[in-house]
Amino acid sequence: MALTALCKRTDSATVHHGYMRYDANSALAVEATGLIKQFGKTKALDGVDLAVPPGRVLGLLGPNGAGKTTAVRILATLLRPDAGQARVCGYDVLRDAHQVRQLVGLTGQYASVDEGLSGTNNLVMIGRLLGIPRTQAKVRAAELLERFDLTDAAGRPAKTYSGGMRRRLDLAASLVGRPRVLYLDEPTTGLDPRSRTDVWLMVRELVTDGVTVLLTTQYLEEADQLANDIVVIDHGKVIATGTPDELKAKTGGQVLEVAPADPARMPDVAAALAELTRAAPSVSEHGDRLTVQVADATLLPGIVRELDSRGIELAEFALRKASLDEVFFTLTGTRNQP
Amino acid sequence: MTAIATVQTPAKRLSLLTGLSNTFTLTWRSVLKIRTNSEDLLGLSLQPIMFLVLFTYIFGGAIAGSTHKYLQSALPGILVMTVIFGTLGTGLMLNNDISTGVFDRFRSLPIARWAPLAGAVLGDMVRYVIMVGVTLGFGMILGFRIENNPLAAAAGCLLVLAFALAMCWVSALLGMVIKTAQGVQTFSFLAYFPLVFGSNILSPTQTMPGWLQAFVKVNPMTSLTDASRALLIGGPVASSAWKALAWGAGIAIVFAPLAVRAYRRKT
């Protein structure tokens, strides 16, 4: 049966890396079809499909309240969907919940460590709950604390930890059982840039070790940095899927940035760009440049000539790929404000 | 090291033994938290001391004519009161675990579904043992004397603890169905105050109005206090002890499944 092959664990890999590898089968590590979940009158999920191949990172992207966390909670067996199916390594999250729980690790806004216990005791407790003998659980805890740079704080209660340390302990806690699939629910929300980069680094290491990751985030940069594939959801519906590059290409493709030397000429530049690209230019945050989506790069020479003939001197004229922020804006019609 | 490739398939279900082992791990967690949280430990010890001092010296003279005489009959009841109020902690802790997300982590682990609840309740038993110890110890400093044989006195303490074990589930249910910790506290006090004070713990019942006497008579706290008194300072035990045990069993039979159900439904 496919699932046995999929969830095969080669212990040689465990010996080398401490994590299990997937068998190179093409079956999916996480698969959801038509998930529906309603809370009162709000449809948190309205027919969501997800598919994560083994060893890949799927970024689930969406604004606050889009349904990201609901989806993760269903996939982690914490919540029953009203309709639809979800499988992890071939195990149904409803029918085979106990098996699923043996395969997944959960870190996020809502699954957290015990603040009254020390870092070590938090990890030992989880190890014991997973049936690891006491001495081995202690070894495993020390190993993880070391890896997540928490050895110095190991004996302190978690409530004395900084936000970044707590998140790292949280991540460590979800790894005690060497999960094959890891759910990271907004793993860096509220972290400073330095701690965020740390978490990213750790996620990349896990992926190298063969762990499949489903990551929810409202930070486009995070999805861009970590995810192989992205699913954008809004109001409980999938509104776009693809690799980060595909998504960028799908919506507008490239962006032209123009800054006139004289800021007073901004309106003239805007008029010229609108005329030539047939798209609405938008003004940058500082009000000193215009960006406009261009579907066809061959328009550029014409734009340069036209601006020149109107006597507009340019300080900047650049063509670049659309950022995920712009993609997100195009897709959801709202500025993403983390 | 020789590498042997094996296929490890996740286990299909959980044995009762694993469930018990999960429970003990979570009990260990609770005990560890009492040990490391000095405020909690201090509060646990101060509450019975406060009850003893207040009630003995405020009511003692008025009700029994002498504080010593009052203490003899009140302490077994204050023991009940202390431990019953102590069970409020169960609900608060569960509520806290739920709102901080600790329970979600437990629920995402392949452990027995009932283990976190059972672990919390068992862990709290340790708190009650501490409370009973402090009440008796400090009571003796104030002049309380056990007038029965030690075995009977021990049975009295065990009876109170067993009853608390049942009341834990009431608290656990409140902790889960009420959203905020604040709400749990308020509602628990609303439920517990009449139960604890509407009894014969603090004063004889003869002067109470008829309706209240009727309530006091059926109140399980009264039977429990009667039994606790009889076992600590002597008197007829059997009927009140049986009544208290029956009440305890009844409460546990009703509320434990309700609490487990509320816990399962918790999303």
With an 8 Å Cβ cutoff, is B17 touching chain A?
no
Token pair 């978690």 in the structure block, residue: A158
Cβ separation A117–B18 shorter than 8 A: no
Pairwise CA distance, residues A63 & B264, whole Å: 29
| Interface confidence: ipTM more than 0.90 | no
Binary contact (A78, B107; C-beta < 8 A): yes
Backbone angles phi, psi at A162, to 5 degrees: -75, 170
**Most trustworthy range by pLDDT among A131-140, A311-320, B107-116, B143-152:** A131-140
Question: Does residue A256 have a pLDDT over 50?
Answer: yes
Q: Which residues of B touch A113 (CB under 8 A)?
A: 102, 105
| For B31, nearest residue in chain A (alpha carbons) | A117
A129 contacts in chain B (CB < 8 Å): 22, 25-26, 106, 109, 111, 115
Q: How far is B137 from chain A (nearest CA, A)?
A: 29
Q: Which residue has the tokens 């889009």?
A: A66
- What's the gap between Cα A298 and its chain centre? 35
Domains with residue ranges and CATH for chain A? 2-248 (3.40.50.300), 254-321 (3.30.70.2030)
Pure H helices in A104-229: 119-129, 134-147, 163-175, 193-208, 220-226
Could you tell me the pLDDT band of residue B250, with boundaries at 50, 70 and 90? very high
Q: Is A18 in a helix, a strand, or coil?
A: coil
Q: Contact, A173 vs A96, CB < 8 A? A: no
pLDDT at B2: 36
Q: Taking CB atoms and an 8 Å limit, are B110 and A130 in contact across chains? A: yes
Domain edges within chain B: 18-265
Instruction: Specify the range with the lowest mean pLDDT, choosing from A116-120, A121-125, B94-98.
Output: B94-98
Estimate the crossing angle of helix A119-129 against helix A163-175, to 10 degrees: 20
Could you tell me the pLDDT band of residue A253, with boundaries at 50, 70 and 90?
low
- The residue type of A89 is C
Q: Count other C-beta atoms under 10 Å from residue A71's C-beta.
A: 29
Beta strand A57-61 with A229-234 is parallel
Between CA A196 and CA A189 the distance in angstroms is 8
Query: Is the pLDDT at A13 greater than 60, yes or no?
Result: no
Burial readout B82-116 (b: 16 or more C-beta within 10 A, e: otherwise):
bbbbbbbbbbbbbbbbbebbbbbbbbbbbbbbbbb
B266: CB partners within 8 A, 6+ apart: B98, B103, B176
> In this structure, which amino acid lies at residue B100?
T
Smallest Cβ–Cβ distance between B102 and the set A15, A98, A114 belongs to A114
By C-alpha distance, the chain B residue nearest A80 is B267
Interface test with B, best of A98, A100, A103, A107 (most B CBs within 10 A): A98
Token digits of residue B184: 């749990």
CB-CB: which of A4, A101, A117 is closest to B33? A117
- Hey, is A280 helix, strand or coil? coil
Question: Choosing among B21, B30, B108, B113, which should be mutated to test the A contact, i.e. which has the most A CBs within 10 A?
Answer: B108
